[in-house]
Chain A
Amino acid sequence: MSNDLYNKTKYTLPDGQEVEIDPIREYFCEDRPEVVEPNRNIVERFFNWARAESLFILGFGTGCGAIEMRPLMTPRFDAYRFGIQWRPTPRQANLFIISGYLSVKTLKRVIRSYEQMQAPKFVIGLGSCTINGGMYWDSYNTINRLDHYLPVDVYVAGCMPRPEALLAGFEELKKRIKAGKGEGANIYARDFDWYKANQKQVITDWDMPDYNW
């Protein structure tokens, strides 16, 4: 922990009593994520239909691809008619679009945001950069394969893909969710150690809890 914010600190209360606060324990949760076995009954299928028809996107543009999401909000493409909308906080979102190249500094914030989202949650990799690095494949500062750090449901290839391609990606994601394949959160929980090892190999100054909701 390089950041003092996360170290144990002693505070003196107004009445003179000394307390020691360990922010990792006090403000965050130490528990690992758990796999929630999905039911295969008719109620779950109804839930999956409902989830697919109300995708709430986290408004976090990580790279240049975020510019392709703006036309989707406007009347020409109007993604809202498909039940897709953008939310300002991870707590209200269930779809994370990694829009384009992802630098190591942003990856750290992306992981935090992803872990704060409520399961079931889905990830779309937008643009070639999330698949194999794209034009930044030999850069010192951008990751190459997004699926080593987060479980990805759908990739939309292109540099940049048009908004139509993104809409097609949404349709593909809906099919997956309705078929019960949108299990990204469970995959993340199951392979948690592998994901964490990959993340920590890249993020050398890891100064946050391993899992934080």
Chain B
Amino acid sequence: MEKLLNQLKAHYPLTDVIEQRPDLAFITIPRDRALDLVDHLKRHHGFTHLVILTAVDWIEDGKFQLTYLLNNPATMDDVGVRVMIDREGASMESIHHLWITAATYQRELKEMFGIDFPGSPRVDTPFILEGWKDLPPYRRDFDTKAYSERTFFPRPGRTTSDPATHMREKMYPTKGGGDNV
């Protein structure tokens, strides 16, 4: 793994390298070289298995973080290639020509995060949410509780006990009015 990372550092502008375990590393790379790197890892370093393609919403930075987690079945090494893409009009090049299974991940990302992958097969077909008209639900500015209360006829009478409040009430019971903690 060490040798591989040094090789990659020499050839690619890696901005961040995290060696989480001896057999697991995460590398961050600018967007324009990302798919080049994924292709290179598949062709020349035996990372032939796409484990997952997923996204994280960094709403404060205005970015989505895509992670291409690749596995080398011969050495059992995993490499996560991370790319930061703009949140506004989020779009990324498709990798379905490398792994046809990626089309399903990309379809899900389109639906759940609103990240477009032009040219990916059936990317606009609904995956789970049929007829969804709201914000993509995995975006952090989507309020799932408010949506549920607006849409799904909540049954009245449900109470929630916040553990901190519950324990405070139990250990230091208040006697009518005023918070005497």
Contact = CB atoms under 8 A, between A and B. Distances in A.
B144 A138 contact: yes
B24 to A, nearest CB: 31
Residues of A contacting B: mostly: loop
B147 interface: yes
B154 A144 contact: yes
Interface in A101-148: 103-105, 108, 131-133, 137-145, 148
A87 B134 CA distance: 38
A205 interface: yes
A133 B133 contact: no
Contacts of A138: 144-145, 148-149
Contacts of A137: 148, 154, 158
Interface residues of B, number: 22
B128 A132 contact: no
A50 interface: no
Contacts of B145: 138
B131 A141 contact: no
A133 B137 contact: no
B175 interface: no
B153 A204 contact: no
Interface of A: 2, 103-105, 108, 131-133, 137-145, 148, 198, 201-205
Given A138-B144, A144-B154, A145-B155, 19 more contacts: A104-B129, A104-B130, A105-B129, A131-B155, A132-B158, A133-B152, A133-B155, A137-B154, A140-B134, A140-B142, A143-B153, A144-B148, A145-B154, A198-B153, A202-B152, A204-B131, A204-B132, A204-B133, A205-B126
